[in-house]
Structure 1
Amino acid sequence: MFLIQKLLFLSLLLFLSLLLFLSLLLGAMVYFEQLKESQDAWEVCAEALAKGIYSDDHVKFFCFQVLEHQIKYRHGGLSPAQQQLIRETLMKWLQGQLMNSQPEKPFIRNKAAQVFALTFVMEYLTHWPKFFFDLLSLVGLNPHGVDVYLRTLMAIDAEVVDRDILHSPEEVRRNTLIKDGMREQVIPSLVESWYQILGAYQQSHPEITCQCLEVVGAYVSWIDLNLIANDRFVNLLLSQMSVEDLREEACDCLFEIVNKGMDPTDKTKLVESLCQVLQSAGFFNVDQEEDVDFLAKFSRLVNGMGQSLVLSWTKLAKGGDVKAAAEALRALETKVPLLLQLLVHDDDDISANIVGFCYDYLNVLKQVRYTLMLTLSHQDIMLAVMKKLTYDEEYNFDNEGEDEAMFVEYRKQLKMLLDRLAQVSPDLLLEAVGRVFNNTIQRWQTASFMEVEVAIRLLYMLGEALPASHGAHFSGDTAKTSALQDMMRTLVSSGLSGYQHTLVSSGLSGYQHTMSFLDHRGLRHSSPKVRSRVAYLFSRFVKTLHKHMNSFIEDILSRIQDLLELAPPENGFPALLTSDDQLFIFETAGVLIVHGESPAERKQALMRSLLTPLTDAFRLLLAKLASEREEERQAALADCLSHAVGFASRTSKAFSNKQTVKQCGCTEVYRDCLQTFLPALSCPVQRGSLRSAVRSFLHRMIICLEEEVLPFVPAASEHMLKDCEAKDLQEFIPLISQITAKFKDQVSPFLQQVFMPLVLAIFEVLCRPAEDNDQAAALEKQMLRRSYFTFIQTITSSGMNEVLANQGVENVERVLFTIIQGAVDFPDPIAQKTCFIILSKLVELWGGKDGMAGFPDFIYKHIVPACFLAPLKPSFDLTDAQTVLGPEFIQYLQQEYLPSLQVSPDITQEVCQVLQQPDAKVLKNYMKAFFQRAKL
């Protein structure tokens, strides 16, 4: 008993300690926010940093945060003395670092660098033009000071240069001025400091040297390249390529230098000089380098140099400088052996980093005359791509992870190279693939599955690549077409369809003859992945070749009969195919029936035998769902019912229009399906998924059955408008809009009847209260509002103004006011545009003498003000506006509306004159300027 009490007491203490910690943490956060907002608390933090009062790292970080907030948000309100205090604080803190034996923690140094950078951005152009000179004279070559200096430079790069960070137009202008000022005043001094740092710390502080290399790489994109790309500096960088701790960063730095935009002739010379030194130092001997991390960086550098040479050649060739272009091309050719070494390297990261250069080089081959060297390099690249397509032995086919995903992406890059090879030399590619393919398939029983898979993959890629470059497989060249046909024939007759490895079976599934799709080699394969892939490919196969399959359509249908069964949730047996896979099989069955040569009576019988099991199962499952009480079981039944509707819908993909349905005698079959599925709309449980499925089926039937579907629409609409959520309505409106646009006057009586119930349901959902921070609910309402306005637009655009006009004066007025509200009050440009289109159409329909009574008055009191109020909203796009005006409108603006807005007579006159200009461009530009002035 005592032990239990003791444990309870300890637990209570632990719980109280946790509560105390949380309250302290919360209190600290509140205190921090108060300090940031305080007018003078930052000065306390500044003093603490300058004098080094606190030793606790978190307190020091906290002080820098307070100072950062002050500089970022309140700098403009500080007095000159306070701004001076910030500058002195930073320099005193930095001076303290020079005297410390141990540097601050990295997170403090990073925060300090951010504060230095913010202060620089705020004051360099005005109060602190000697920022860098003050910094450099203070830190000298002190390693602690140099570290902060380099971190500050990177923080300045993030604030001023980094293109990945979005800046306002004001900030862009400011940053441009800062860079211009730095180029004129300090960049040479900064470059000299980098050179000194790189030389001084190469051995003693490699981490500082690496930081400096990163800084050089970041700044080289916008400073004078001659300051860096000179013998003194480049030789220093190249020497660091041989230092183990530095060479990866040196590679990155050289890569940034090579990527610098410059004159193509100068770029060629720069790249060539770099390559000569690298080659002399032995870096081109890739096979002798064991450090794969360095080789990955080096491969990226070579890729940058190669792409730079390609760009130089392209510019020089287009500019007509034949001699310089020839030199660039020769320089390019000499890099191909290195390109090939890196491309075929066992490490895929190294190979992937050079693919961009390889791709661009092949593009050059496409444009120049063949030399022996170019032809040989083309062949070598082809062989390299074929080799690298092969899976390695570590690939985990059963449990694919990140490494496997990366290889799949890498294979996509290789496929791009193969496609480009097909464009450059389809003859050579066909010959090379044929050689590899035939050699492998002839010995497939003894070859590794990786070799077999690559052979099949190459044939597949060849089939995709060649039509893109040579029309329909060499535009009727029978010799080359025959080569492809021979390979296909070899594959089909080789016996490979029985290969047991999933990888090979998946590759083969695209080439199976009809029956092999249906047996253990295809849809009944032991691997779910293979079955899934075959279901899709068999669907494509039948769609393409159905004209040649008439004699065995019913045989195929009987063979896939068991795959067309709806698997009830209580079955307990795993189905051969997933529901997604079954969609393809149902579509395939539909295509076979519809496009066969049987008479209409037989097609109707086959379609009925296909769909009747679905409708029978649907009735039974719907009855079970209505009486089911367990929520998990309800969801499973609803899923199964939705699948049944989806399968029936997918069969209709075989039809193109109503005539086809009639010709096949299938109208009645699909009407019966509709009759069976519609009761699901009134099911009291799992409404969302069932309504969605039936709604999708109705969309399909509108296309396939046309007016035959109309008798079902009123009852369906009545059910779908009961107990609606925002999403239900949002999905229902496109259905009504589709019916409206397609049938117009035929559905006018129905639309007049359903219009206000639908509108009221929408209003009810939009008026439901929601939490202020519930973004999902806000987005749902926004989308529903857009759908509502789109529905009104569909009605007005279809010439069915009587639908709205016959709703009674109060209802019409209510709807009109929602359109005005949508045009003016909601910050949603898409909805605004729709509302103005509606208003424009209504003015056209009802604004004349024979229009709706009272509408002209509504135009002047509400539509005209909306045209002026909406453009004043921040969300309104002033570059997208159209207006149609008449003399009465001009008179109204001049005498009543603009004076009511306190617009002066001069500007009123100016506006009205411009509004009567025939040139729409003049009107558009003036109105844009007018509203921009009005917003100020």
Structure 2
Amino acid sequence: MAELDQIVKAIEIASDPAQAPLHQQALDFLGTVQSNAESTWRLALTLFVDATPDGARTHSPQARFFALRVLEDFFENRLEPFDDESFRTIQQSLLSYIQSEYIYGSAEATAPYIRNKFSHTLTLFFLSSYISQWPTFFADLFSLIRAAQPSSSSETPTFNRHIIILFFHIVLEISGEVADQTLKAARAFNQARHVRDARVRDAVRERDAAGINEAVLTLVADGIEMIKKNGRTGSESPVDVVDLGIRTFSSYVGWIDINLTVTPTTVPLLFTLLADPSLPIRLATSAALSRIVGKGLKEPGDKLQLLKVLALGQVVDALETKTRAEKMQRTTADEGEETYREALGKLLNALGLELVKLIEESGNDAVVAEATVLLNQILPVVLRIMADEYDDTSNTIFPMLHALLLSYKRVKKLSPGPLDETKRSFLVSLLEATLTKAKWDEEFDPDDPDEDDVVEFEALRKELLTLLDSVQILDQELVTTAIHTLVRNTIEAYNSGVPVEWNDAELAVYLVYIFGEINKSGPKGRVAFCVAPNVEKEKKKLVDYSGYPLTPHGEMLLGLVQSSISSHPKRIVALQFFEAVSRYPDFFKVRKECIMPTLEAMIDVRGIHSADLNHRSRVFYLFYRFVREIRNEIPVDVVVNIGNSMRDLLNIEVQLPDADDSDSSTDVLAEAIKGSAFESQLYLYETVGSLCSLLFRTPDELTSVLLSFVKPLMAELSEDLQAFRSNGARDILSIVKVHHSIMALGNIAKGFPDYPNPIPPGYIPLPVNLFSEVAQAILVCLEAMSGFKDIREASRSAFTRILATTGPSITHLIPQLMTSLLTQFEPAELVDFLNFIGLLIHKLQEDLFSVLDELVGPLSAHITNFLAQPVTGTDDQRVNFETKKAYLTFLNAIMSSKIHSVFTSERNQSSFDALMESMLQIAADLSDAVCQRTALQFFVRVVTTWGQPAPANGSDSTSDLKPGLPGFEQYIYKRILPVVFQVPSSAAFNSKDPSHAQVLSEIGILLQCIVKTRGTEAYEYLLNVFLPSQGWPPASALDFSVNLYGPFWTLTTLIFTLFLSSSLAASVTAYLSDPNAAISYDFGLLSIAVPLVYSYGLALPTLLWVALRYLGVGEWSVVEAIALWGYSMFVWIPVSILAVLPFPSVRWGLVGIALGLSGFFLVRNVYPILATAEAKATRLLIIIIAALHLGLAIAFKVLFFSYYIIPPPSGDPIPNGPGTEIGSPGGDTTTSSAAAVETTVSAAAALRRMLFS
């Protein structure tokens, strides 16, 4: 017993706060005991059941609870039967405990958590022993339920309450373990346990399901009788027993025979309990009925019969009517009764879903007809539930409504036409309920909203929007008319002075706001708001849409703008108005007279000058968005006035947080910057830039107006900088104001359009000098305050925006910017800076060369040193990875641009080798597959750019490819190739790892690129020099080299063969059609052949190889995959040559032969690879491959092998009648014949392009 005493002592120490120093030691010991449950379970069993002579438990509740945990671990991991001695020991101990504690004792009254824990422990023991060792488990348990036999037959038998509750808990636990998918999904999957649980479930069904069900229903009925006799009050009220019994019944109805749970006895009992005065009983019964309704049955007829027997539609209808009447009589809300109405909604939802499923999937007309009748009967109740004032109740019915509308849409798709009257009547009622439900509650206070209420109502509106969208698809006119009528009536009532509640007004404006989202299938752009004829895309900008009649949406927007609803006393209405008008800027391009009234509303106290901060902040964004979208429509003569009306809102105001709430000045600075309303104010500064840019035709006025906005900010910037220099880092206010001023100046520049590249004719330059002064001022501030991260970020952001506007005019300031940014920086900022430079490369290209030439060397050295620093923690590892990834992206951006020569410039030649070596190290590092792939992609671009062979004497010098670096081919062979082969040869490389598989794919692409770029030279080097030096046998080296080079040669040859043969055939047929026709070449065919052949021959096998690697299939290399597809295409080369023959049947035959041979070759070689997969479904990929191959053959036939001889038109034997001139009588038909041929050839080429695109 010493070990038992040790465990008890350890538990006492772990539970005693006074012995904290020994806590960890005690916990470690207890953890060892629990982890070794296979050997310590006997101690745990003794610890749990031991009792004193007077029947009390020997050990503390804490110790006994720990004992149950050990027993749980032992039972849970036990998937094999116990030995006889262990089983008997456990069984007898647990039965003795139940008798002493639950029959003669208090059933753990002082520690109810132990009672619950014991139920689960006993359930786990049951799962381990029921099948072969304790088949009488339930019979033994039933024998304990009767507390005492009656003295005479006339007395009602009495039952032990404690055993009843234990029995119910055990059945609940068993159902959870063997049938609850949620619980199963929450634990780690174990195949052996899954099989064991399924066997237990089947055994219970066969042996004891009927007995369990009978016992549960008998005990429930007994509880109901006791309620009738003794009432519902008291410490041991039978209400709890009935509630738990129904929940137990509900737990197993889904996995035992429906004939046991749905009987002439159970159905009336459940309906009685569904209307019981006790709320828990009603809720439990509703859940049980929902599970019965949702139980799967094989035959649709059986399911329909079940639903007819239950007749839940009538029951729920009566209960909903009753509860709704009771709710109307109550003066205060009753949350319990509302919960019951939610339960009724869930029950009705379950019934509706099953009926819709029957209609959709049964395939039996009789079943569909009866199910449709039942469904139509419950629809009025569904609408009443949906219209409930409590959103939680309404939400319960949405899944059924979505399923029903989806069913309607499927029917409509199969049989287009108007809906039948029943469905249309339902849609009318549903639409009415939806629009009513979309309205805010009158009791909601929009001026002091509760954030949780707002979030919940917005979620409800999203659900309602989905319903509206579905109804609109079914009957567009119905929805459009309903919304249009509601909006028009509301606006007319408001304009005429009739009192309109704020929620009615808000709903009308909201419906205008969402109308475009509902009407997804309608036209887009300006024609969404006016009924205009179709116009070619190029001419749309020239059309005057103002004279066309408006669509319903256009009429609603026009009514909004012309009304005074934006002046509604409730700000929420005005805000919704601004949301609506800013969402549909194209309307204002149709009715330009609405622009000024809308701008006036946005500018005055209804909008950006509102007294409410939150309202004002949101309108700042909406105003910016509106101006940005319609700025080209704003009259230039009002631009200055609009800008002047905003000046009072452009003052930078800073409110510092209480310094006592922060740990340091840095915290105060961050809080002051992020906690202010300045973020929304930035939209106003950008709007200023947008408005000023409209004055571009008058540069002097533009400069003057822009200066009037910039000068105050520059002055404040200078003043705050001086204050900082005087007061130092403790002057938080000055630092924040400098930050805000820099951001404001940057956003003004952002409002201007981007600098064009290339510059179009007649381009009027912006005031670059002014922006240059701004940039220099920012640099001065940055140099003085570079120690503050927020200042560095603001400067980089502002520079990005100024550079986008001015182009190369201020690129000379970038080195100074880089110096200041990198003097003091946090590692994460380096990523942002690299992204910043990458963006400039994309925008400026050659204009950035001189700057990048000066920048790339020091920047690369800086980053290389940073990446070489030791990584000490998770955060450092993440920053290191992000920096490396951004650096590689930066280098790839340079190689993809027109300024890649910056790496080999005179300034950077000395660091070129170090750069390439660092990239080779990353390309060989298998610990970071993401960056490794990016580095390999870099070398693909490097080889393509610098590895080009020098042009031979007399060769065509007009090629787009420029000569590479002299001697770079030696670098490819001596440095890049070894790394390429080193990676897959590494012991750490695992081809079944998806990330490594992707790396191998990049390696294959790089090898292909080397061979493609260097041609025969690379092939011979691999075959004769490199592979033999790596110890490859000659046969293997030859096979690899051929597979690497051959497929590309085959595909390239096929491309030119297709082009030449189709062009030749077109010329032959043109000649045979008309000897005088000119020979022509359709170079469009070449642009079609290249992507078609390369995509099929290179991309498709690569993708298949990656997919198979991911699935762990075979030891197939990517080179073998590409080679297989390349060689399968060889047969198309002679076929394309023979297809010149002007015989359609011969060409079809040739295509069939090529399809058969190449397809057989692919299937014969690919299917054995697929057959090695463990999952047989993988073999079905061969069907996809065959379908794609067939598609390729059809594409070849249509695009390259389709041409016909068109004979010249002969004389018409029918004389021309008066007014009909068929042909040209007496004229030469050569011209018309040639024109016909030319037209036909052009049409065929156009057809090919159309089919390909």
1:312 aligns with 2:358: yes
Q: Partner residue of 2:506?
A: 453
Which has the higher mean CA deviation after the structures are superposed, 104-113 or 349-358?
104-113
- Tell whether 2:863 aligns with 1:762: yes
Check the 8 A contact 1:264/1:313 in 2, yes or no: no
Residue aligning to 1:56? 60
CA contact (8 A) 1:220 1:256 kept: yes
CA RMSD of aligned residues (A): 4.7
Cα offset, 1:824, TM superposition: 0.8
**2:356 is aligned with 1:338:** no
Give distance in 1, aligned partners of 2:819 and 2:655.
30
* Whole-angstrom CA distance in 2 between matches of 1:558 and 1:264: 73
Residue 274 (structure 1) aligned to one of 303, 310, 334:
310
Whether 1:824 aligns to 2:926 is yes
> 1:35 — aligned with what?
33
Partner of 2:1012: none
SS in 2 for 1:187: helix
Give the residue type in structure 2 aligned to 1:352. Answer: N
8 A contact 1:638–1:689 mirrored in 2: no
Match of 1:877 among 995, 999, 1018: 995
- After superposition, give the CA deviation of every residue in 1:76-104 in whole Å (9 maximum; x if it has no partner): 99999879877777676666654463334
Per the alignment, residue 685 of structure 2 pairs with 586
The match for 1:833 is: 933
Q: How many angstroms apart in 1 are the aligned matches of 2:119 and 2:556?
A: 65
Q: Which residue of 1 aligns with 2:793?
A: 692
Q: Is the 8 A contact 1:247 1:294 kept in 2?
A: yes
Q: Match for 1:541 among 602, 626, 631? A: 626
Instruction: Give, in whole Å, the separation in 1 of the partners of 2:76 and 2:1031.
Output: 42
Report the equivalent of 2:652: 566
CA deviations on 1:519-541 (whole Å, 9 max, x unpaired) are 12222222223323322332333
- 1:864 paired with 2:981, answer yes
C-alpha contact 1:194 1:212 (8 A) present in aligned 2:
no
Structure 2 match to 1:153: 174
State the match for 2:1166 in structure 1: none
1:528/1:483 CA distance change after superposition, 3 Å: same
* Higher mean C-alpha deviation, range 693-702 or range 358-367: 358-367
Q: How does 1:502-581 map to 2 (within 5 A)?
A: 502-509=571-578, 510=580, 513-550=598-635, 551-567=637-653, 578-581=677-680
Paired with 1:88 and 1:865, the residues of 2 have a C-alpha distance of 66
Q: Which residue of 2 aligns with 1:14?
A: none
Cα shift at 1:164: 4.7
Q: What is the correspondence of 1:435-514 to structure 2 with a 5 Å cutoff?
A: 435-441=485-491, 442=493, 446-462=499-515, 464-466=517-519, 468-469=521-522, 472-473=527-528, 476=531, 481=550, 487-488=556-557, 490-509=559-578, 510=580, 513-514=598-599
CA distance in 2, matches of 1:117, 1:396: 53
Q: How many residues align?
A: 896
Contact persistence 1:520–1:526 (CA under 8 A): yes
| 1:254-275 superposed Cα distances (whole Å, 9 cap, x missing partner) | 3344345556555455444434
SS at match of 1:833: helix
Match of residue 677 from structure 1? 778
- In 1, the alpha carbon distance for the partners of 2:602 and 2:181 equals 61
**What is the CA-CA distance between 1:571 and the residue it aligns to?**
14
- What residue in structure 2 maps to residue 7 of structure 1? none
Query: Partners of 1:460 and 1:506 in 2: how far apart?
Result: 11
Distance 1:103 1:62 in 2: 18
2:823 is paired with a residue whose SS is coil
| Secondary structure class of the residue paired with 1:734 | helix
**Residues 574-626 of structure 1 deviation map (CA, whole Å, 9 limit, x = unaligned):** 9xx93233233233333333346843443343333333333333333333334
Shift of the 683–732 alpha-carbon distance from structure 1 to 2, 3 Å rule, reads same
The partner residue of 2:718 within 604, 619, 622 is 619
Letter in 1 for 2:286: C
Q: Which runs of 5+ in 1 are unaligned?
A: 1-16
- 1:45 is matched with 44
Aligned: 1:200 with 2:229? no
2:275 is the alignment partner of 1:242: yes
Structure-2 residue corresponding to 1:811: 914
Displacement after TM superposition at 1:337 (Å): 0.7
Select 1:108's aligned residue among 106, 110, 114: 114
- Cα distance in 1 for partners of 2:1102, 2:561 equals 66
Secondary structure of 1:663 counterpart:
coil
Kept in 1, the 8 Å contact 2:131–2:200? The answer is: no
Question: What's the TM-score, normalizing by structure 1?
Answer: 0.82
Superposed displacement of residue 453, structure 1: 2.7
Q: Which amino acid aligns with 1:33?
A: G
Change in 2 beyond 3 A, CA 1:847/1:381: same
Cα–Cα, structure 1 residues 115 and 697, in superposed 2: closer, same or farther, change >3 Å?
farther
Of 506-515 and 273-282, more deviation after overlay is shown by 273-282
Q: What is the distance in 1 between the residues matched to 2:683 and 2:794?
A: 17
Kindly indicate whether the alpha-carbon contact (under 8 Å) linking 1:590 and 1:654 is maintained by their aligned counterparts in 2.
no
Change (3 A) 1:385 1:237: same
SS at structure 2 position matched to 1:705? helix
Equivalence for 2:968: 851
Q: How many Å apart are 1:898 and its aligned residue?
A: 8.5
Corresponding letter in the other structure for 1:329: T
Is this contact kept in 2: 1:583–1:650, CA < 8 A? Answer: no
Indicate the SS of the match to 1:370.
Answer: coil
Please name the residue that 1:9 is paired with.
none
3-state secondary structure, aligned to 1:201: helix
Cα deviation for residue 555 of structure 1 reads 1.8
Does the 8 A contact of 2:687 with 2:748 survive in 1?
A: no
Amino acid at match of 1:558: N
CA distance in structure 1 between the partners assigned to 2:561 and 2:947 by the alignment: 72
The equivalences for 1:916-935 within 5 A come to: 925=1108, 928-929=1112-1113
- 1:121-146 deviations in Å (ceiling 9; x for gaps): 7x5xxx76347845423432532431
- Quote the offset at 1:19 in angstroms: 7.4
Of the candidates 694, 701, 705, which is equivalent to residue 602 of structure 1? Answer: 701
Q: Distance in 1 between matches of 2:722 and 2:90?
A: 77
Whole-Å separation in 2 of the counterparts to 1:43 and 1:217? 36
Cα distance, 1:670–1:324 mapped onto 2, change above 3 Å: farther
Q: 1:12 corresponds to which residue?
A: none
Give the stretch that moved more between structures: 332-341 or 267-276. Answer: 267-276
Counterpart check, 1:297 vs 2:343? yes
- In 1: Cα distance, 2:992 partner to 2:803 partner: 42
CA distance in 1: counterparts of 2:399 and 2:44, whole angstroms: 51
Distance 2:117 2:268 in 1: 34
Q: Name the CA distance, whole Å, in 1 between partners of 2:29 and 2:778.
A: 62
SS at match of 2:653: coil
Q: Distance in 1 between matches of 2:879 and 2:82?
A: 45
CA distance in 2, matches of 1:74, 1:898: 54
Matched, 1:287 2:336: no
- Aligned-pair identity in percent equals 19
Alpha-carbon distance change, 77 to 233 in structure 1, aligned in 2, over 3 angstroms: closer
3-state SS of paired residue (1:295): helix
Which of 164, 181, 190 is matched with 1:143 structurally?
164
Amino acid at match of 2:566: S
TM-score (ref. length: structure 2): 0.63
Q: Displacement of 1:878 after TM fit?
A: 5.5
Q: Aligned with 2:968: secondary structure?
A: coil
Once residues 461 and 633 of structure 1 are traced to their aligned partners in structure 2, the CA distance between those partners, rounded to angstroms, is 43
Of 354, 357, 375, 2:400 maps to: 357
Match of 2:1236 in 1: none
- Give the whole-Å Cα distance in 2 for the aligned partners of 1:631 and 1:73: 65
Superposed CA offset, 1:680-699 (max 9, x none): 43334553112222222333
Shift in CA distance, 696/83, structure 1 to aligned 2, threshold 3 Å: farther
1:873 deviation in Å? 8.7
